[in-house]
Amino acid sequence: MLSSPAPDRNRAALFALLGWMLCSAVMLWLFRADIPTLAFRDADDAMRLAQIRDWVGGQTFWDVSQHRVNPPLGGPMHWSRIVDMPIIALILLFKPLLGAACAEILACAIVPLLLLGGLTAAAFIAARRIAGPIVALLSVALLLTTPSILVQFTPLRIDHHGWQILLAAIALCGATDDRPARGGIVATLAMALWLQISSESLPYVALFGAAFALRHWIARDQAPRFIAFALTLGGVALPLLVLLRGPNAAMASHCDALSYVYVWPLVALAIATLAATRLIDASTANSRLAIALIGGGAALATFALTGGSCLSGDPFATIGPLAHKLWYLRVMEGRPIWEQLLTIRGLILMPALLGLAASLSAARATQGEARMLWLTIASLLLGATGVAILVMRALSVAHLFALPGIAWLLTDLFRRLRASSHAFIRVAGSAALALLTPVAMSIIWVIITAPADPNEEAGINCGASQILAPLRTLPSTTLFAPLDIGPPILIRTSHAIIGTGHHRNTAGITTVIQAFVDSPDKARAIITRTHATYLVTCNGLNELRLYAKTNPAGLAALLAKGAPPAWLEPLPARGPLRLYRIRPE
């Protein structure tokens, strides 16, 4: 197929569309058992649905706190309504026809696949601009089979991670646009939305800004891309913040979300860049470098004034030593590569490094603007890989940026193999190219390096509807439960809980951990202060095993042994769920 004439743009786009539809159908089939019961695989997805229900139920647009967490104070959150909007739109659309429950199920199943459709389109457009329709189609095929990307777009995966990958792809479209000003605006609008969704976008904002500034310095015709990026980012970020967070957000200081700390440096970037372009003639490379340095310098100087404690670079520095040790450091998706298992290290690096080598090879094999595009891809991929090395969950963006280079490499090698005069080389070599795809590399690496899991209960989903069913028979009250099953309890019952794995509720997180780790007498005093009526555990939770290991004489260890203290009255329960009535002192 690769040796045949290149398909026209419409036919190539149609093939990409069909690929997305096929992938969506396969994933709906694979998750058919989970969808009807909203069996979320991640607690963040459950918490997202709880946030959406609260909004539907009358909670104000700007209030994203969870008021059934750590009552009466509530659990503060930093999430964005942007992610909620398409889900709630579909719920409201389908609710009159199907009822509230079915509308929720349909929305939670469809929205991730719609985001995947947007990602497919953006990846196709970017790759086609770089290397033509064949490489673009192969990039889509790689995208729709890459586990590290698809895992964020499966049905019921309604948290914000899919949004981040999609917006990164749209920004990549802006970086490859042959109309510099339009490309700068497109990339900036994607970055501005990403900033509203997560502060994890900040390194990518700096990365794209640096790439655009470098091209602006090298070639005068690329100046509009950088200028548009700087002016649009500073002009849009502040109004969006006020629109989505409320008027007070412009002066609120938070390290874990777009706030006063970060938004005013972006405004300074826009103002300084605009002033520099008015005062400095951009006809020479040195003058264009001066414009970029003035804009970037103004942003950095402003951040030095507004940053405060955020200058340390750790948005979770205030969560407290106990929560830091027994919760934050155990969230491995947020940890650097040197703390990961060998299996995870390979999964992070192999596609990214192959894509980087392939992108540089493509740059070497091309000339003119095509070479510059490949070098831009390589620089963005290098930076994204650096982010993934520091934060494991960022690997999806790095792998996305690696796909055009891998597709080009596979295409180039296939053409070389087809030109061989030896039939064995043509057939065997062409088949062996499959080993260079991200999915093949990932499978082989996992088979070679993955350790055997001695924990037979690790596959239990303690947040499943049937496991938590006994809780629905209780009158509405406050439950003292582990962090990991807090969000499922919120969406499957009317109860309140003390803590979830969301860092702004430092008090609730610390209370839960402290009680399960402490001796029964101390735990009783902690739990009594929460006014919880029942205590809930689940035998399949690694969280509770960690607490038991931390203190073999603590409450979690005693409960794991089936020896609850006298102030906990065991109640009948089935499966792995354990329920205790808390006797008053």
Q: Classify residue 560: in a domain, yes or no.
A: yes
Gap between the Cα atoms of 19 and 24, Å rounded = 9
Residue where a domain stops, chosen among 283, 310, 337: 310
Q: Classify residue 228: in a domain, yes or no.
A: yes
Does position 414 have pLDDT exceeding 50, yes or no?
yes
Gap between the Cα atoms of 533 and 581, Å rounded = 6
Q: What is the mean pLDDT of residues 114-130?
A: 96
The percentage of residues in the chain with a pLDDT greater than 90, rounded to a whole number, is 77
Q: Classify residue 241: in a domain, yes or no.
A: yes
- Specify the pTM: 0.93
Residue where a domain stops, chosen among 280, 310, 340: 310
Q: Classify residue 543: in a domain, yes or no.
A: yes
Q: What is the mean pLDDT of the chain?
A: 91
- Residue 4 confidence (pLDDT): 41
Q: Classify residue 299: in a domain, yes or no.
A: yes
Gap between the Cα atoms of 67 and 452, Å rounded = 41
Gap between the Cα atoms of 87 and 64, Å rounded = 15
**Strongest mean pLDDT among 179-188, 279-288, 415-424:** 179-188
Which structure tokens are listed for 216?
């602006």
Total tally of structural domains belonging to the chain: 2
The SS3 assignment for 214 reads helix
Does position 356 have pLDDT exceeding 90, yes or no?
yes
- Residue 453 confidence (pLDDT): 56
Q: Classify residue 71: in a domain, yes or no.
A: no
Q: Classify residue 498: in a domain, yes or no.
A: yes
Q: Please, is 57 exposed, middle or buried when counting C-beta atoms within 10 Å of its C-beta (0-12, 13-18, 19+)? A: exposed
Q: Classify residue 541: in a domain, yes or no.
A: yes
Tell me phi and psi for residue 561, to 5 degrees: -85, 0
Tens of pLDDT, residue by residue over 522-561, are 999 999 999 999 999 998 889 999 999 999 999 999 999 9
| Amino acid (one-letter) located at 5 | P
State the residue for tokens 């399960």.
Answer: 516
Tell me phi and psi for residue 580, to 5 degrees: -130, 135
| Amino acid (one-letter) located at 40 | F
Range of the domain at 272: 178-310
Tell me phi and psi for residue 320, to 5 degrees: 95, 150
How many other β-carbons are positioned within 10 Å of the β-carbon of residue 367? 8
Q: Give the residue among 170, 165, 152 at the shortest CA–CA distance from 113.
A: 152
Q: How many helices (H) and strands (E) does the chain have?
A: 24, 5
State the residue for tokens 């009822």.
Answer: 99
To 10 degrees, what angle do helices 43-56 and 100-131 make?
120
Angle at 371 between CA 370 and CA 377, to 5 degrees: 90
State the residue for tokens 């596959």.
Answer: 459
DSSP 437-482: SHHHHHHHHHHHHPPP---TTTT--TT-HHHHGGGGGSPS-EEE--
Tens of pLDDT, residue by residue over 224-273, are 999 999 999 999 999 999 999 988 888 888 888 888 899 999 999 999 99
* CATH code of the domain covering residue 473: 3.40.50.12610
Which structure tokens are listed for 22?
């096929």
**Alpha carbon separation from 175 to 208, 306, 387, 566 (Å, rounded):** 8, 29, 19, 65
Residues in a beta bridge with 571: 579
Residue where a domain stops, chosen among 269, 289, 310: 310
Gap between the Cα atoms of 109 and 98, Å rounded = 15
